[in-house]
Structure 1
Amino acid sequence: MRKGVVLKIKKDRATIMADDCTFCEIRSFNGMYPGMEVCFNEGDILKKRITLRSNKYVNAACFMIIVLSSYLFLSFYQENIAAYAYVGIDINPSIELVLNRKGRIINARGLDEEGKEVLQEIDVRKMESVDGVKAIITKTIEMNYIEEDNTNEITIYAVTDEKNSEDGNKIVEKVEKAVKEEVVARSLRGEIKTFVSNKKVKSEADKKGISVAKYIAEDAKETVAREIGKKDKKDNKEFKVLEDSKDKDNKWKKDKEDKKDNKDIKGNKYDKVDKINTRDIRDKDDNRNNKDKVKESNVKGNKESKDKKDKDDDKKDKDDDNDKENKKKDDRDKKDKDVKNDKKEKSSNSNKGKDDKNEKEDKTDNKNKEKDNKNNLKDKNKN
């Protein structure tokens, strides 16, 4: 991270003189003004220095010229151009002035709309710090930002490096004196507050777009709120501890009283309990006797029903056996009948076959006889 001071702003580019006395260009941003200290990286540089190759003597001469001119320019720059301190004036308009080492105003900017309106009416650049502050106070009175009937609060602050805090006190004293002169000269009432801050606080205020005075006031409020919050939490914890201890004590007392009441109740109930117990024992004995009687009657009934069932089952089995035997007998008779009928049919069929055979034999015998007769007739005729 490198640091430098804005020398010139042209459209979207700003020429920067770095802390090593080199020059470069970076992109400008809203709120940038000449004399402002900025931080940048190498990647932010738009146009770097161009170096030319030459022999060692030319390089040495160029180096000496650059060193000398840089020293002269740095001296001039630190005296006239560089921002040495910042002075803020908070009334209703908030205005911030940039001073060089000689105490001259090199830039001014309004931190709110009212401050911008005031600076549009007057140009305090190149003025001495005291003269510029007087001109600003005069213009704010003319624009009725400082009222005659009320006590006006005016805050003046200076911002310097931490090592230059004594110079900051001197600047604040000079500006405060100039403001008092203007207020007293116009017979106005004003309550003036002054303080000195550093550039670290100013950078935080710039990020929020407010004056250092307003930033410190807001930060103080937030700090107070945090402290109150912490205190409330602590008080709540202590209160909770007290409540818990009270609850424990009350619970202990209540438990003790309940135990005592239970003892009294138990003492009163002992007689009742004895009576209830004897009655319960008598009732239990009666119930047991009744249950035994019921069981006996149930056993007898079950036995009788079982015997009856067994008899019925035996009878049924006998009937089934008789049915089976009768069925077998019928089957045997039927079978014998069928066998007899088959035999009869076979015998009739065999007799019929014999008759047919005899008939055939008779026929053949007759045929043979006819043949013999024919042959005999033929023999006779031959003779």
Structure 2
Amino acid sequence: MQQLDTLIESARTWSDRATHSAHDADANAEAEVARIMQICNACRYCEGFCAVFPAMTRRLEFGTADVHYLANLCHNCGACLHACQYAPPHEFAVNVPNAMARVRMNTYRHYAWPRALGALYERNGLALSLALAGGLALFLILPLALRGTLWMSAPGGNFYEVFSHSLMVAFFAPPFVYALVALALGVRRFWRETSAGHASGPAVLEAGGAVATLKYLDGGHGEGCNNEDDAFTLSRRRFHQLTFYGFLLCFLSTCIATLYHYLLRLEAPYAYTSVPTLVGTIGGIALVIGVVGLWRLNVRRHPLAGDPQQKPMDRGFMALLLLIAASGLALEVWRATPSMPILLAVHLGAVLSFFLTLPYGKFAHGPLRAAALLKWAIERREPNRTGLTED
């Protein structure tokens, strides 16, 4: 009994130390952003690059909420790093992209819902994402193999001959709804803690335009950002747009197919020339091109730009998107062949893995960044009470 008490006490001590260590790391990352922003506030050479620097001039001090806000306002384009005269190896060691990326990861954990699951951000890497997708695909493949329908040609390539529509809805709706609720609650906490204020129509339109066009990936001058060297390039912005709009088109295709099924009573499979199929195919192709391009840029990125420790999470997210898009396109091409059940299981496994990791992976940066852009659109319409000018 005494040995058991000793083990329990040791476990509690280890847990407390781990918690304190994580809090110390978060505090250090936030303190580094505050230090850098003080230097940037004195220099202000980069204030035309993106929204971070004019938002910075509205502050004389940088508390936790301010740092969280600025970190999610940063698009990590790297332009300020390559332009900064105080960047490493200067003794000031000003590295805005790296410092902001470290805090951004902290905010993903901090605003995760439930908060206890925020620790998944540290484990949501490439291997975990692919292992989860593979495991779920295998889970779907096994019953097909047991009933002898793993290799079969369904009439007209009908997916529901393999898995019924009601089964798919029961299987995928709960994790999808949970992911949306978790993300929404996280953004709500971010909004409250950063005192974002009340949005007006013009502010919403401005923020929506910045999100839709990825405005702040143009380096502030329209020539683009920096990736592996001092050369400006719009590649990152274009690949992000292909990924963003490809994903939206794929989601729109699913929504249209849902309307076809429930409102028009038209059941899948749909013809290659139908609206949901065309929209999904275009979205899938755009998604593949965008993700492959972003992966290539991620591999070649300058080591000082961003946080290298987050690359497994970034690549895990990209790998899932690529697997979803590629398997979906393959499913369209070979849906009338005996390989359709296997392709369907792989695709559904990747989609379910994506839903399950959605609130605890790189996808969270989208809603939080959109909220930060809306806060900036609200803020810039208010008087600057610091005494510092923005221009």
TM-score w.r.t. length of structure 1: 0.16
Q: Which structure would you say has the larger Rg?
A: 1
Q: Per chain length, whose mean CA-contact separation is higher, i.e. which structure has more relative contact order (CA < 8 Å, sep 6+)?
A: 2
Relative to its length, the structure with more strand (as a share) is 1
TM-score by length of 2: 0.16
